[in-house]
Structure 1
Amino acid sequence: MTNDHTQVHDPARVREFFGSRAARWDERFPDDGPAFEAAVASLGLRGGEVVLDAGCGTGRALPYLRQAVGNTGTVLGADLTREMLDEAARKGRGRSALLLQADVARLPLGTGVVDAVFASGLISHLPRPGENLRELARTVRPGGLLALFHPVGRAALAAHQGRRVSDDDLRAEPRLRPLLAGSGWRLMSYVDEDDRYLVLAVREG
């Protein structure tokens, strides 16, 4: 959804916050393209697969996801905020994906129909993380993957905000691992560097 430094959880506030920033969102983060491309590559997607960008925002990952699954694959971009989806369409990213205005708490998708989920910044904005991750898991086939991504690591983000990094952070491995496990996911890899936060998890059967 975002690499903004503000964490908002209430759905109405999320829509308000991102809706007012949608038109200039990409201008604020002009150099993130290579990081998105590398994060998408980490999913190891194959031609013909179905991938969901949950909290796709202005759709910066969508062209890379389309490249990964090819013309025979399906790319879905879901976001809660209409203005973000409108901006994605205005930038032509709707050609790479089917854009859906949807809440991750109630995705309009069948069970086990998705091969992988890509989620940029989403974890910081989930009102009920356990339930919401479980809903993502519902849509993914057993063995499918989840990538939780952020172009900035936790320590760099904390320094920008003038605070110290804390293990109380939902994105910290000691908190995230059991949260994923209780939501149908098994943590496979955890990377938290200054210029990248990337968690990969597999959907358990």
Structure 2
Amino acid sequence: MSPTPAPAPETPEAPGSAGPAGPDAEHTAELARTRAFFAVRAAGWDAKFPEDGPRFAAAIATLGLRPGDRVLDAGCGTGRALPLLRAAVGPDGRVIGADVTPEMLRVADARHHGTAALLTADCARLPLADASLDAVFAAGLISHLSDLDGALRELARVTRPGAALALFQPIGRAALAARHGRELTPDDRRAEPHLRPLLTATGWRLDSYTDTDDQFLARATRVNL
């Protein structure tokens, strides 16, 4: 199995615009915890969620992708969304998968080789040019971000005005909390009263918000700050 591929040639790094100046100690520690958690679970991750495919497809459909579009799967993990994104943008489109855990990306490469350019990258510091994307799909990403504000600003930086963002989880907030043996708290960052103003402040307009037992989906549009 080959190492995680480098960025595709048509996805240039933007000199001087790679996001925040540098992660703080909390952010660095959070990245390390995320890598450690997923590294040992990468090989069997998809087998834990065999029923999620249709939910992923429905969430991706809300992006309104067209042939030739450029889309990022932020926190792509083992790449479950990559074939669906490739089908939506066609052979002339560009699909990029970014994740901080190399082991997850190796699984993605083995299962979906050639489907996307894979980047070992922090979604709060992406090696992508300003306004270079038409859409971002992010499944399960919010729960693993210590700096949600910074990550949303970074996703806004790399997308053009009018670009689409889907923050997705194939299970609702309450159901996920119950699965983990806890209850939702008022400060949950995914709650609409918290998420809407945060999106507004970071360059996004929340268009729709769904939180049912079998899905969490916040669909937003990139606006000019």
Matched residues, number: 196
* Aligned residue in 1 for 2:68: 48
Identical-pair percentage? 61
Q: Which of residues 48, 51, 61 is equivalent to 1:28?
A: 48
What is the CA-CA distance between 1:125 and the residue it aligns to? 0.8
What are the Cα deviations for residues 93-121 of structure 1, in whole angstroms up to 9, with x where unaligned? Answer: 13211111111121010000000000000
Alpha-carbon contact 1:156-1:194 (below 8 Å) kept: yes
* Aligned residue in 2 for 1:146: 165
What are the Cα deviations for residues 115-162 of structure 1, in whole angstroms up to 9, with x where unaligned? Answer: 000000001111211011100100000010110000000111122233
* Aligned residue in 2 for 1:132: 151
What is the CA-CA distance between 1:182 and the residue it aligns to? 1.1
Unaligned runs of 5+ in 2: 1-28
- Look up the equivalent residue of 1:161 and give its one-letter code: H
1:13 aligns with 2:43: no
* Aligned residue in 2 for 1:203: 222
Q: Which of residues 76, 79, 102 is equivalent to 2:121?
A: 102
- Look up the equivalent residue of 2:87 and give its one-letter code: Q
Give the whole-Å Cα distance in 2 for the aligned partners of 1:12 and 1:70.
35
Q: Which of residues 204, 209, 219 is equivalent to 1:190?
A: 209
- Look up the equivalent residue of 1:158 and give its one-letter code: A
Alpha-carbon contact 1:167-1:174 (below 8 Å) kept: no
State the TM-score, normalizing by the size of structure 2.
Answer: 0.85
Please provide the CA RMSD for this pair: 1.0
What is the CA-CA distance between 1:32 and the residue it aligns to? 0.8
SS of the residue 2:126 aligns to: coil
1:71 aligns with 2:81: no
State the TM-score, normalizing by the size of structure 1.
Answer: 0.93
SS of the residue 1:22 aligns to: coil
SS of the residue 1:24 aligns to: coil
Q: Which of residues 157, 164, 179 is equivalent to 1:160?
A: 179
Give the whole-Å Cα distance in 2 for the aligned partners of 1:166 and 1:127.
17
- Look up the equivalent residue of 1:63 and give its one-letter code: P
SS of the residue 1:23 aligns to: coil
Give the whole-Å Cα distance in 1 for the aligned partners of 2:81 and 2:74.
10
Give the whole-Å Cα distance in 1 for the aligned partners of 2:108 and 2:50.
15
* Aligned residue in 1 for 2:103: 83
- Look up the equivalent residue of 1:126 and give its one-letter code: L
* Aligned residue in 2 for 1:6: none
